[in-house]
Structure 1
């Protein structure tokens, strides 16, 4: 079955299927309206950040499937559940909102929503899954009817590009780009304190065990002992995950025979200090600016998982982590692939990694690769925002015919 016939049949049958009563919608704002849709909750932060970037040039409507929990705040976007494809619900939704442009994020495509959109359509992070369609995947030829509806697709990798090309999207409409990420937060830092501490530490080699739970302290102590064999002036900055665990961490470090300076007591990391103990996680921006190499805690086997790694990579830290990377597994995988991070599984591996990365040229190469990965999302966001503006400008040119879908939906759909 050809793509156009498959899509026409799909739209006809979905129009005849029983549909729920259309949900009451808020009033449509004046001016141009961008409609953003994703099937995945993990993509929402980046898309909502994009909406803030485009404000006040245009209003933004963001939709997600009803099964995904709505975030507490949507910032500049109007956040709504996506309409079902069946019955007349999708048509009523689009008749109400009259979006000027559709930005679809991810490869899970819904033919009934995409085909009924009458304006330009853009795809970002497209076709990462083997199954291109979120609905109608069992219909022969349906993907070849849906993929060509997009005016432009930004994809992160040759595999995704090939998948869209096989589905019928012309190659000249496919553009390779990195993933669209939410911008990494810039962790704050008291510059005067950073300068004073940097002067106190001087040229000593420094590494950070940040966001560290008490359960991982034995592994970190073992790592310090191993790494300090070849770096006798090595300083460990230890930032606890929980402020209430700082006292217990300090006692355990002292019992292990390590010389500790306690920031909560106003102590400084003097020449004889082996561990500088922070009083909690609040000053991670300061410690990451002081330590070129950081292990992010909670990630060793059995751990609870750690914090988002891009905020550390964006500050120029080379990163070490354990295998427990949820809920940031995709970010860690990208950093590992780029050579910006390294996986360790116990204290011995952590110590060997620290020992091997104390050379400035090695840690600098990792840090540079991490910065590239962490900031790539901002470059992609700029490209997507520019593409949205350019597409809207072309669509609104005087005398230009209003865009129409490649295959009109059946009457009443």
Structure 2
């Protein structure tokens, strides 16, 4: 039976929300993990969890839901992304009847009492993960404090990101229930593969030469990258640049510019050899990025010096041991760059001069290696907590599969 607080909340929700159409596709067969996320970091942590489960148990689908703004995440087969339904009992029931989730992983906070209550009634196992203090501070708890306790009781487990969130949960819960601190969960990516024999061959051809990589470069960034390379080559004559354009038209333009400026170029897709006097390796196939991120200890990630392109994912090069340089226009991946920059794994530059200085400084010392190590630590953070969550999910899914 619903408490008076929940009844009052549902009545208010019905009177203040707009009816919502359910635009859902057909539910896929098999286990379906439902996750509630609040930003790019939690979305990527959720995707990593499901990827791990897929490798451990076989195919499973992911339903990702969010409150206000859809996270920017790669499209994947068996992955659905929708805004949370309005928080009324009727809408929640329709949502649950359609999707029939196997388990619910609720990240951060911003709790929806009606939806959570109906999920509990449907006997869906729920876990609150990486709770954050500011996301738990909801006005509804001030006038219905008992509703907070009832909402939290619907979760099988509660985990806080830090001590402040743990304190908030204890205050809301009103009991001595165990609330662990597990920090953030791991957001590791599956890096692109590299052919080991090709990697060995390229490494031998470069013969210990210093290398930096400029990837996803737009046409109006070409001159900045080439200017930086020309300046650093004056100091380090053996330096090689791996240049990867953002698109085929940019690659065509790059060929023209490189020829007009007299660079000694290896056109990788043409089968050119990498020789001792090669200054630039022009790569036109993004399928080879797993190779070049491993070859280069330092990567400038383009589509970031000028507006309108909004950057590219920094976790891929970071996961392959490459330190990251980037421009100021990375709106689509701000939280990822900020996280890497905060631990010293990435450095921002504003123009060609800044790029020149960064490449020169980082390649002339052990700084790029230190940055790459910091990136690995950041990406590995939360691995132990993620393992524990996966173990708990596995146990719950096993109970669902037991006749």
TM-score (norm 2): 0.79
Shift of 1:18: 8.8
Instruction: Specify which of 98, 109, 112 is matched with residue 110 of structure 1.
Output: 112
The count of residues paired between Structure 1 and Structure 2 equals 393
The corresponding residue for 1:260 is 265
Report SS of the residue matched to 2:131: coil
Task: Report whether the alignment pairs 1:288 with 2:293.
Answer: yes
Deviation at 1:293, TM superposition (A): 0.7
Q: 1:345 aligns with which of 346, 350, 372?
A: 350
Q: Deviations over 1:260-286 (max 9, x none)?
A: 232244322322222222234332111
Secondary structure at the aligned position of 2:287 is classed as: coil
Pair 1:161–1:202, CA change in 2 (3 A): farther
Aligned to 1:36: 35
- The separation in 1 between residues aligned to 2:28 and 2:391, in whole angstroms, is 22
Comparing 73-82 with 260-269, greater Cα deviation is found at 73-82
* CA 1:243–1:61: 2 relative to 1, 3 Å: closer
* 2:216 paired residue number: 211
Range moving further from structure 2, 57-66 or 25-34:
25-34
State which drifts further: 122-131 or 138-147. Answer: 138-147
2:49 matches 1:50? yes
Alignment correspondent of 2:202 = 197
Q: Which stretch has the larger CA shift, 277-286 or 383-392?
A: 383-392
Which of the numbers 321, 326, 331 marks the counterpart of 1:321?
Answer: 326
Gaps of 5+ in 2: none
Question: Quick one: structure 1 residues 200 and 124, their matched pair in 2 at CA, closer, same or farther if it must change by over 3 Å?
Answer: same
Corresponding position of 1:10: 9
Are the structure 2 counterparts of residues 218 and 162 from structure 1 closer, same or farther at C-alpha, using a change threshold of 3 Å?
A: farther
C-alpha separation in 2, matches of 1:347 and 1:282:
27
Tell me if the contact between 2:298 and 2:322 (Cα under 8 Å) persists in the aligned partners.
yes
**2:30–2:61 CA contact under 8 A, matched in 1:** no
Query: 2:108–2:135: 8 Å Cα contact kept in structure 1?
Result: no
Aligned 8 A contact 1:40 1:64 in 2:
no
Higher relative contact order (CA 8 A, sep 6+): 1
Task: Give, in angstroms, the shift of residue 37 of structure 1.
Answer: 3.5
After superposition, the Cα gap between the structure-2 partners of 1:147 and 1:227, relative to the gap in structure 1 and judged at 3 Å, is farther
Alignment root-mean-square deviation, CA? 4.1
Is contact 2:298–2:323 with CA below 8 Å preserved after alignment? yes
Deviations 1:134-161 (A, max 9, x none): x847745354653454343334444544
1:125 aligns with 2:123: no
Q: Secondary structure at the match of 1:245?
A: helix
- Asked whether 1:228 is paired with 2:228, we answer no
